[in-house]
Each structure stands twice: as structure tokens, then as C-alpha cells.
């Protein structure tokens, strides 16, 4: 079933801007015991609302299927880069907003890594996550976690039991909601009068300008720009006070919001981002026609290179079992008959298979088994860190780069 209305303003003036074909859930990795089962596949297309600028997936998928059908494999502390980012976020936020002895709710708390950092600063912290598997890991860290999809019902439960929150965090989860307005209303209801709502997600503008399409997948329902977030928050009596692009996930948009009647003005950085989004054509359908032409041409040229390698009997191993990697593999039609393995450091993913393409996930040590092998780095945002580590395992690795 396709969405017919904008998730923010309810307009029917939607124009399709992206079509990546049909895809499985990108953040779901398949246990080998269920390898024979077919994966649910849905059209991966995005619409632009011509009235408010909201960008959203066209196809409606069930969030319970996205996060609870298999054990969810993504952990927010899965790499040293991720841990460093969350460590710095907790420290900077605590100092800037004087977060100590406060009540904090983290929506999409995942394995509890960030929540634990705030708890160690003498704050009361509650996590909310739809994955029972992740909630169990978080509670082993000492982070009390409510399991379920965040909305007005869970917000009401938390408020009744603990009161209103001084800080609500929703990193890389606000954009996952099938109903972002309900999500925002729940935040507004739970937030204390002088509280702050802070969240991050991959920045759509950065992806479009760099030609990166792989952070588009079914789990990401909304692709917020500063301008569209401002519209959404205003509708639930909140406002942006700050917006900035941070160097995480290849470029993420970090938003801080307060209640609409607060006296904090909109930051110059936020004003500048809104202006740049308009100037860069983020609300113009023609921008995306050009982007799709470029993406498709790059894919076709790269596949020619891949099949030349395979015709020589040489092996290709992909690196980084990430959701964006699965979007890449499925859009390029690279399955287990072309890619021998995908490597990843996460023990929650090793031993499983990539969705639809059915490529085995193993550790980086597999590179030691080859005299000659080609490495395709899917986690491009940390490629500079990955390359030297792989070359230590096998100095004969040749790297495959789609941009070349």
C-alpha cells in the first residue's frame, strides 16, 4: 500500500523523486536457520511534498516487521567511531545544557550505550526501544528500557510513572516513525516546560549533493530537512533553537528544540541551513531527476568492472554489514553469486546472511585466506579507518570503488 498524503501537512501534492527498485528491510540480517524463507520485498521509492517539503518513503511497511520479526542486529556501540561520537555527545550536551540530576528519556535507546553515559552523570534515564533483543542488552548495562514503538501511549505511561522529561533524545529514530506527527506530539506531551528535545539523523541534503543514495531504506520513513522539521515541530508547539551538520554517518543533521514559547532564538546556523536547502534545490523535483540519472549511470559502469573481475575467477568481498550496504547491494543486484562474503566486526551480525542477497557475514579475518582478493567497502563513511586495518590482514587486497 502506498501513502497518498504527506505525513506532516496531509497534502496530496506528492511527487515521486527517487525509485531504487524493490528492496527488503535493510537493517534485518537473516539467521542461517531461516535462509530458505523468502524475505518481504517492497518498492523503495520516495515522494516529495510540494507544499511543505517533506520527503518520505511511498510504500507503507509495518514497523513491527522491521524491528521485531528477526533479532535486530544494529548496535549503537558497534564501532570505536560510534562510541566516540556518543561519548562526546553525552559530554557536550551535559555541559552545554547543565544536564545533571535530571530525568532523561532516550527513544530508540538500542543497546543502551548513550543512556548509560547519561546515567553515570547522576541522571535518571529511561530507554524506549521496539526490539526485545536490544532492550535485553541495554538492561544488562543497567538501563531500564520500555519495549514498544514510541508514541502518545508510551509517553503517557512514562509521564504517569516518572513525570515530565528534562531531555528527550531520539537519535536516528525520529525518521523511522510511520507517524512522525504522532511521535512529535508524544515528545511535546512528555517534555518539561524548560526541557529540550535533541535528535540526529543522516542529513538528506548531504546525501543528495554527494550522490549517496544508500541511506535510503524502508526503516527510514522520513528524510528530514531543517525546513520540514521546523514545520513539523511548530505544529506540535515546539520550535528549533539550533541545527547543525555533524560528522557522523557521513553527515548527520543534529536538531535541538524547545517549547514554542521559549525565548531562545533560532540559531544563525539553523537559519543558514534552511537557506542553503532552498538554494541547493532540495525542494525542486528536477534536482532528483538528475540525481537518479547519475546514480544509475554510476551503477552500470561499476557493474561492468565487477563482472570483468568475476570473469577472471577473482574473488570480491564486501566490507561493512550495514543497512546502507544492503541498499547498495540490492540496488546493484549484487548477491551471493557475485560477492563471496560481507565482513563486519559485530558479533550480532556474524554468522547471519544479508537480506535478499543472502551473502554470509563473517569477520575481517577472511581476507587472510586469499592470495588475491578485491574489497568493496560498503561503510564508506569510515573507509579511511577500514583500509589500513584490512591491508594489515592482507597487503594484496585491491579496493573496488564505485566512484572510479
Distance between terminal CA atoms of the chain? Answer: 38
Looking at the chain, how many residues does it have?
A: 404
Q: Does 44 reside within a domain? A: no
Residue with more model confidence, 393 or 382: 393
Helix/strand/coil for 11: coil
| pLDDT of res. 82 | 84
Does residue 205 have a pLDDT over 90?
yes
Does residue 196 have a pLDDT over 90?
yes
Last residue of a domain, one of 227, 257, 283: 283
Does residue 265 have a pLDDT over 80?
yes
Tally of domains within the chain:
2
CA distances from 150 to 131, 171, 194 (A): 12, 13, 21
Does residue 77 have a pLDDT over 80?
no
Query: What's 124-165 look like in SS3?
Result: EEEEEECCHHHHHHHHHCCCCEEECCCCHHHHHHHHHHHCCE
Over residues 10-66, the pLDDT tens digits come to 999 999 999 999 999 999 999 999 999 999 999 999 999 999 999 999 999 998 787
Statement to judge: residues 322 and 183 lie in one domain: no
Does residue 211 have a pLDDT over 70?
yes
Supply the CATH number for residue 380's domain: 3.40.50.720
Sequence-distant (≥ 6) Cβ neighbours of residue 15 within 8 angstroms? 47, 48, 50, 285
| pLDDT of res. 73 | 62
Last residue of a domain, one of 283, 302, 337: 283
Residues 241, 245, 248, 250, CA torsion sign: positive
Q: 6-10, 81-85, 136-140, 240-244 — which is least confidently predicted? A: 81-85
Average pLDDT of the chain to the nearest whole number: 93
| pLDDT of res. 203 | 95
- pLDDT (average), residues 379-391: 91
The model's confidence at residue 348, banded by pLDDT at 50, 70 and 90, is confident
Q: Does 30 reside within a domain? A: no
Does residue 85 have a pLDDT over 80?
yes
Statement to judge: residues 300 and 359 lie in one domain: yes
In 3D space, the residue among 323, 356, 170, 314 whose CA is nearest the CA of residue 253 turns out to be 170
- pLDDT (average), residues 265-293: 95
Q: Does 180 reside within a domain? A: yes
* Helices vs strands, H then E, count in the chain: 12, 17
In 3D space, the residue among 254, 257, 259 whose CA is nearest the CA of residue 89 turns out to be 254
Q: Does 149 reside within a domain? A: yes
Cα dihedral 311, 315, 319, 323, rounded to 10, equals 50
pTM over 0.95: no
Q: 38-52, 75-89, 188-202, 357-371 — which is least confidently predicted? A: 75-89
Over residues 146-189, the pLDDT tens digits come to 999 999 999 999 999 999 999 999 999 999 999 999 999 999 99
Q: Does 20 reside within a domain? A: no
Statement to judge: residues 117 and 158 lie in one domain: yes
| pLDDT of res. 68 | 63
Residue with more model confidence, 71 or 140: 140
Q: Does 36 reside within a domain? A: no
Does residue 404 have a pLDDT over 60?
no
Statement to judge: residues 202 and 120 lie in one domain: yes
Statement to judge: residues 295 and 246 lie in one domain: no
| pLDDT of res. 70 | 59
Statement to judge: residues 220 and 362 lie in one domain: no
Q: Does 346 reside within a domain? A: yes
Sequence-distant (≥ 6) Cβ neighbours of residue 262 within 8 angstroms? 194, 239, 241
Sequence-distant (≥ 6) Cβ neighbours of residue 322 within 8 angstroms? 74, 344, 378, 379
Nearest 5°: phi and psi at 294? Answer: -65, -45
In 3D space, the residue among 168, 155, 160 whose CA is nearest the CA of residue 194 turns out to be 168
The model's confidence at residue 67, banded by pLDDT at 50, 70 and 90, is confident
| pLDDT of res. 78 | 73
From CA 200, how far away is CA 107, in angstroms rounded? 12
Helix/strand/coil for 2: strand
| pLDDT of res. 191 | 97
Last residue of a domain, one of 283, 314, 348: 283
Statement to judge: residues 235 and 359 lie in one domain: no
Range of the domain at 356: 286-400
From CA 312, how far away is CA 16, in angstroms rounded? 40
Contact 11, 47 (CB under 8 A): no
Statement to judge: residues 372 and 329 lie in one domain: yes
Q: Does 113 reside within a domain? A: yes
Supply the CATH number for residue 174's domain: 3.40.50.150
Statement to judge: residues 255 and 135 lie in one domain: yes
| pLDDT of res. 251 | 86
Statement to judge: residues 128 and 262 lie in one domain: yes
Statement to judge: residues 363 and 380 lie in one domain: yes
Statement to judge: residues 117 and 255 lie in one domain: yes
In whole angstroms, what separates CA 217 from the centre of its chain?
9
Amino acid at each position: 500500500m502506498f501513502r497518498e498524503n504527506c505525513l506532516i501537512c496531509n497534502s496530496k501534492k506528492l511527487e515521486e523523486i527517487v525509485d531504487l527498485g524493490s528492496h527488503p528491510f535493510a537493517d534485518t540480517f537473516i539467521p542461517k536457520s531461516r535462509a530458505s524463507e523468502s524475505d518481504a520485498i517492497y518498492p523503495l521509492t520516495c515522494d516529495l511534498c510540494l507544499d511543505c517539503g517533506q520527503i518520505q518513503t511511498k510504500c507503507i511497511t509495518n514497523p513491527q516487521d522491521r524491528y521485531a520479526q528477526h533479532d535486530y542486529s544494529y548496535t549503537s556501540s558497534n564501532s570505536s567511531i560510534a562510541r566516540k561520537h556518543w561519548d562526546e555527545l553525552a559530554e557536550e550536551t551535559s555541559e552545554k545544557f547543565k544536564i545533571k540530576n535530571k530525568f532523561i528519556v532516550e527513544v530508540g535507546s538500542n543497546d543502551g550505550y548513550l543512556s548509560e553515559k547519561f546515567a553515570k552523570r547522576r541522571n535518571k534515564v529511561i530507554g524506549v526501544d521496539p526490539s526485545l533483543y536490544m532492550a535485553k542488552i541495554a538492561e544488562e548495562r543497567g538501563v531500564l528500557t520500555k519495549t514498544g514503538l514510541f508514541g502518545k501511549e508510551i509517553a503517557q505511561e512514562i509521564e504517569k510513572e516518572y513525570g515530565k522529561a528534562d531531555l528527550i533524545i531520539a537519535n536516528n529514530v525520529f525518521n523511522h516513525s510511520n507517524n512522525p506527527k504522532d511521535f512529535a506530539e508524544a515528545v511535546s506531551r512528555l517534555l518539561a516546560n524548560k526541557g529540550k528535545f535533541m535528535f540526529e539523523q543522516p542529513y538528506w541534503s548531504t546525501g543528495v549533493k554527494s550522490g549517496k543514495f544508500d541511506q535510503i531504506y524502508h526503516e527510514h520513513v522520513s528524510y528530514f530537512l531543517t525546513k520540514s522539521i521546523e514545520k513539523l515541530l511548530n505544529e506540535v508547539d515546539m520550535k528549533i533553537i539550533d541545527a547543525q551538520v555533524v560528522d557522523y554517518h557521513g553527515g548527520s543533521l543534529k536538531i535541538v528544540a524547545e517549547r514554542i514559547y521559549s525565548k531562545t532564538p533560532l540559531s544563525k546556523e539553523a537559519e543558514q541551513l534552511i537557506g542553503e536547502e532552498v538554494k541547493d534545490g532540495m525542494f525542486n523535483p528536477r534536482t532528483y531527476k538528475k540525481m537518479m540519472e547519475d546514480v544509475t549511470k554510476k551503477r552500470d559502469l561499476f557493474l561492468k568492472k565487477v563482472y570483468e573481475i568475476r570473469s577472471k575467477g577473482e574473488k570480491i568481498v564486501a566490507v561493512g554489514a550495514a543497512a546502507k550496504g544492503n541498499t547498495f547491494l540490492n540496488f546493484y543486484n549484487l548477491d551471493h553469486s557475485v560477492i563471496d562474503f560481507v565482513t563486519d566486526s559485530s558479533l550480532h551480525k556474524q554468522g547471519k546472511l544479508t537480506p535478499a542477497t543472502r551473502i554470509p557475514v563473517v569477520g575481517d579475518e577472511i581476507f587472510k585466506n586469499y592470495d588475491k582478493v578485491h574489497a568493496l567497502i560498503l561503510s564508506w563513511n569510515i573507509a579511511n579507518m577500514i583500509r589500513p586495518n584490512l591491508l594489515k590482514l592482507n597487503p594484496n587486497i585491491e579496493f573496488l570503488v564505485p566512484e572510479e
